[in-house]
Amino acid sequence: MENKANDTLIVSSAPHLVSEVDTSRIMGTVILALVPSFFVSTYVFGFRVITLTLVCIAACVTLEYLFNKITKKKQTIGDLSAVVTGMLLAFNVPSNLSYIIAIIGCFVAIVIVKGLFGGLGQNVANPAITARIVLFLSFTTQMTTWPLPRGQQTADVVTGPTPLGILKGANGVLPSNTDMFFGFIGGSMGEISAIALLIGGIFLIWRGIISPIIPVSFIATVAVIALAAGQDPVFHVMAGGVMIGAFFMATDYATSPILPLGKLIFGIGCGCFTMIIRLFGSYPEGVSFAILLMNIITPHIDNFCERRIFGGVKS
């Protein structure tokens, strides 16, 4: 009887509930949600969007395979997380970026930020966000040379400032909110079209992949601070990386708080840091830095929220 019990009793760590939703299904849903933005970006910037996205995906998958092979870890390329990281990194760079520089970003994301910290779920910062910041600081000229939409290019002018760059003082005319809504503006490949990102974000919320708390609080905070500063809140919500950051980057399971109150604090913090940098910093955009800063303090947010629920001794 004792032997029979030992044969059938399985002792394992949590979670014990079995669901049809696994990592590959979640990542596959995120990839589907990014498709509208991919199509708009391809229409606006042309064929190079496709090749740069494929290069980033291939580089991320290959680097993850090689890292697992060298460190003798279980292969994880089948969970599609490397594909998502490749797509998000591609969506956060200009479409004319060198393939070599993009691959360097993939190395930072997959090997340094993800692999060396233990793999998926163990990283303390969003891999794509961190890689974008590293590329931005290391290859500033290449990362800030923005192609104009194909319809706005002339024989002499093929690049130009982003809407936030113009607001910060660069030469140019601010685009209309309608152009920003549909994506007929310069900028990183995947952040130009608010409607495409909104469709993808609503799709993720509808499928239960992400909670609406972080995106809503992030976007609302940006709008409120812009309004308080006497600027157009709609412009600030649709400009730069707010939409892609709120729906696709700040909601990363591994680097955002678990509890609803924590998610609310996280979203508000992202919005505050974004607007502080936009209004008072040297850089025209602050979404990446804001999300990275909030990633760093996520463990403290979780601890604070857990003490409020379960109680604890004040130190």
Position 114 pLDDT exceeds 60: yes
Q: What pLDDT sits at residue 86?
A: 95
Higher-pLDDT residue of 3 and 63 is 63
| CA 9 centroid distance within chain | 42
Average pLDDT estimate for 56-62: 96
Which residue type is seen at 35?
V
For residue 45, what are the β-bridge partners?
none
Q: What pLDDT sits at residue 172?
A: 79
For residue 50, what are the β-bridge partners?
none
Per-residue buried b or exposed e for 216-235, using 16+ beta carbons within 10 Å of the residue's own CB: bbbbbbbbebbeeeeebbeb
Q: At what angle do helices 260-280 and 213-228 cross, to 10 degrees?
A: 30
Q: CA dist 93 to 3, 191, 201, Å?
A: 60, 9, 20
Sorted by sequence, the CB contacts under 8 Å of residue 116 that are 6+ apart come out as none
CB 120 within 8 A of CB 81: yes
The whole-angstrom separation of Cα 111 and Cα 42 is 28
> How does DSSP classify residue 72?
T
Which range among 13-27, 71-85, 126-140, 158-172 shows the weakest confidence by mean pLDDT?
Answer: 13-27
3-state secondary structure of 156: coil
Which range among 158-172, 185-199, 209-223, 227-241 shows the weakest confidence by mean pLDDT?
Answer: 158-172
| N-terminal to C-terminal alpha carbon distance within the chain | 50
DSSP string, 213-269: HHHHHHHHHHHHHHHHTTS-HHHHHHSTTHHHIIIIITT-GGGS-SSHHHHHHHHHH
CB 41 within 8 A of CB 188: no
The whole-angstrom separation of Cα 60 and Cα 127 is 11
116-120, 141-145, 190-194, 221-225: range with highest mean pLDDT: 221-225
pLDDT digits (tens, 9 = 90+) for 273-302: 999 999 999 888 899 999 999 999 999 999
Position 206 pLDDT exceeds 80: yes
Q: What pLDDT sits at residue 2?
A: 47
**Average pLDDT for the chain:** 89
**For the CA atoms of 214, 13, 23, 264, what is the dihedral angle to 10 degrees?**
0
Position 261 pLDDT exceeds 90: yes
Q: What pLDDT sits at residue 7?
A: 58
Q: What pLDDT sits at residue 161?
A: 81
Average pLDDT estimate for 231-252: 94
Tell me the domains of the chain and their CATH numbers: 23-304 (1.10.3430)
The whole-angstrom separation of Cα 102 and Cα 122 is 24
Q: What pLDDT sits at residue 173?
A: 82
Which residue type is seen at 308?
R
Q: What pLDDT sits at residue 1?
A: 45
Band of the pLDDT at 6, cuts 50, 70, 90?
low
Q: Which of 81, 93, 99, 94 is nearest to 27 (CA)?
A: 81
| CA 106 centroid distance within chain | 14
Band of the pLDDT at 10, cuts 50, 70, 90?
low
Q: What pLDDT sits at residue 147?
A: 86
Position 22 pLDDT exceeds 70: yes
Q: What pLDDT sits at residue 186?
A: 85
